[in-house]
Structure 1
Amino acid sequence: MFDTKNKVFAKVLEKGEVMVFPKGLVHFQMNVGDESATILGNFNSQNSGLMRIPNVVFGFDIKEELLEKAFGLGSKELSKLKKKFSPS
């Protein structure tokens, strides 16, 4: 997930562990294992606030390897997006 200063927090969960994402923060899940994974999500609000996802995801220093896997993009495409959404 990303905090309000767009710092990335990552955690690898093991079977039976849980993680809570604070309301309104951008978050993501990725299966890094070799087997199928199951996730159970629960929301406590229909109005979670507003964040501009492209600005958060591509505008800050997130490991390129993570973005390549998440979006299926190469480094050339990622460079274009980072340039477009980077804070001035």
Structure 2
Amino acid sequence: EEEEDQGLNEVMEEIDRFDGNTIPTQPQQGGGSDWPYTHSEHELASLLHNLDLNSHFRLPIVYYNTQGLMYSEAMSYRQQFPPAPF
């Protein structure tokens, strides 16, 4: 139980450091950053989310431009940050 308390304390300390614009544990985006993609993390996550939903529910007639930059970046992002297992 003490380990849980320690973990909770660490999380609360990180929340206290939250400045309202960024979360310290997430990659930083914006001017001068080293974000390696041309699309935002939100755009990539949204595309990956839609792909997962379409695959899971086997939705017919859903086409994606697999040659496009956004799709390529999303696949690269997924390799770097694989989804959590259910």
> Which TM-score band (shorter chain)?
under 0.3
Higher helix share: 2
Larger Rg: 2
Q: Which has the higher contact order (CA 8 A, sep 6+)?
A: 1
Normalising by the residue count of structure 2, what TM-score does the alignment of the two structures yield? 0.23
